[in-house]
Amino acid sequence: MNFADYKGIWVYIEEKEGSIAPVSLELLGAGRQLADKRGVELAGVLIGHGVKHLDQTLFEYGADTVYVYDAPIFDHYRTEPYMYALLDCCQKYKPEVILYGATPTGKDLASAVATDLPTGLTADTTMLDIEEDTGLLLASRPAFGGNIMATILCKKYRPQMATVRPKVMTALQPQPGRTGKLVEESILLREEDVRTKVLEVVRETTKKVRIDEADIIVAGGKGMGSKEGFQLIHQLAEVLGAAVGASRDVVEAGWIGHQHQVGQTGVTVTPKIYFAIGISGAIQHLVGMQNSGLIIAINKDPNAPIFQACHYGIVGDAFEIVPLLIEHFKQA
Ligand code: FAD
């Protein structure tokens, strides 16, 4: 494999119902830094149906080139058609790096592409850098239960690939009117050649605030004592218009679903305000919320590690303090 043939940083652009996933714009921000350091171009790869017009947004967020595969066969995400399109693009234009959001779609597509190319894949990356002269990607992620950061290298293959957690990179300020090169591509693939069909799309109808999009998160831990005690977390979230978060121990106890779990094996969140109530502050939890704008901890143990990570801490019993907060915010 001649590494000199592989040039450029790519971001797989995730699109759903006409909108670009925020993580893709964050990755363009991270990719821009890598591309500038290497002196190579930054490209977005956009696959879908009726998506071509999104190119301008991608240029404004930092892409130099946008490769588009726009056809009815890409109407809903399915592994095979998307994988074939991306493989086709890789074979034609040979990138040195491809970044994907660590979302269900990004994880699925990246692992399928990695197997077929074949190349390596670093999953759930939280830090990225690149060696200026060799182009070696330094993809770091928590390992050994979050106790160390492991930097994973792909020395033998190209492209180097990583999935990156949402909300850990920062999108650039868009530059209105910034333009770039649009490259329209296609593949020959018939519907009957694809083994999966989308029979029905069921939309989530909950009015509850999504944890990955919330400005305020009220998160509860094992200190809430029981599923009934955890209702106080829901009540405080309700009066604040906040999303509910939880530690892994709470999820494992069955008090709330896994989609609410914050941390290393849950979601990474960066709300403006994060309440950590009855949460001890284990490293595996902290890695998922430590970049929140303002962290307010309530814990009855003054030595709980969460107090090292918060901006404001209240030492006391959640069952006394949270009802007071609910009353206060109801009247505010
Ligand atoms: P505890 O550690 O039991 O803490 C409960 C806290 O509540 C204590 O600090 C206590 O002082 C306080 N408290 C008790 N009663 C009250 C009261 N009445 N009022 C106020 N405070 C009170 N954890 C995650 O959260 N997310 C992850 O993604 C995650 N991934 C992991 C991955 C691996 C590989 C491993 C090994 C662990 C992972 N964990 C994760 C688990 C993590 O190590 C901790 O066990 C977990 O975060 C602890 O949850 P907790 O803080 O709710 O419970």
For the stretch 262-303, pLDDT in tens is: 998 888 898 999 999 999 999 999 989 998 999 999 999 999
User: What is the distance in A from the centroid of ligand 1 to the CA of 306?
Assistant: 10
C-beta 222 within 6 A of ligand 1: yes
Mutate to test the pocket of ligand 1, among 124, 261, 264, 322 (most ligand atoms within 8 A of CB): 264
pLDDT band at 148 (very low <50, low <70, confident <90, very high): confident
Q: Which residues neighbour 2 within 8 Å (Cβ) at sequence distance 6 or greater?
A: none
Nearest-angstrom CA–CA distance, 246 and 35: 37
The complex scores an ipTM of: 0.99
Residue 191 is predicted with a pLDDT of 94
For ligand 1, the distance from its centroid to the CA atom of residue 285, given in whole angstroms, is 7
Give the pLDDT confidence score for residue 146 in this predicted structure. Answer: 64
Dist. CA 309 → ligand 1 center (Å)? 14
Question: Is 160 annotated in some ligand binding site?
Answer: no
Q: What is the pLDDT of residues 123-133, one digit of tens each?
A: 999 999 999 99
Q: What is the pLDDT of residue 270?
A: 87
Residue nearest ligand 1's atom 8 by CA? 280
Q: Give the residue from 164, 169, 110 showing the smallest Cα distance to 140.
A: 164
* Residue 162 pLDDT > 90: yes
Choice between 43 and 205, residue whose per-residue pLDDT is larger: 43
279 annotated to bind ligand: yes
> What pLDDT score was predicted for residue 143?
80
Ligand 1 centroid to Cα of residue 27, in Å, is 31
pLDDT band at 210; cut points 50, 70, 90? confident
Q: Residue 233 pLDDT > 70, yes or no?
A: yes
Nearest residue CA, atom 53 of ligand 1? 222
250 Cα–ligand 1 center, Å: 8
One-letter amino acid at 131 equals E
174, 60 in Cβ contact below 8 A?
A: yes
Q: Pick from 103, 243, 82, 120: which is nearest to 164 by CA? A: 103
pTM above 0.80, yes or no: no
Per-residue pLDDT of 72-84, as tens digits, reads 999 999 999 999 9
Two structure tokens written together for 291: 């970049």
Nearest-CA residue for atom 29 of ligand 1: 284
Looking at residue 133, its pLDDT comes to 93
Per-residue pLDDT, 205: 66
The residue-averaged pLDDT of 182-208 equals: 88
Q: What is the mean pLDDT of the chain?
A: 94
pLDDT at 147 over 80: no
Known binding residue 278? Answer is: yes
Pocket test for ligand 1, best of 300, 303, 324 (most atoms within 8 A of CB): 300
Q: How far apart are CA 114 and CA 92, in angstroms?
A: 16
Nearest CA to ligand 1 atom 23: 248
Contact 7, 42 (CB under 8 A): no
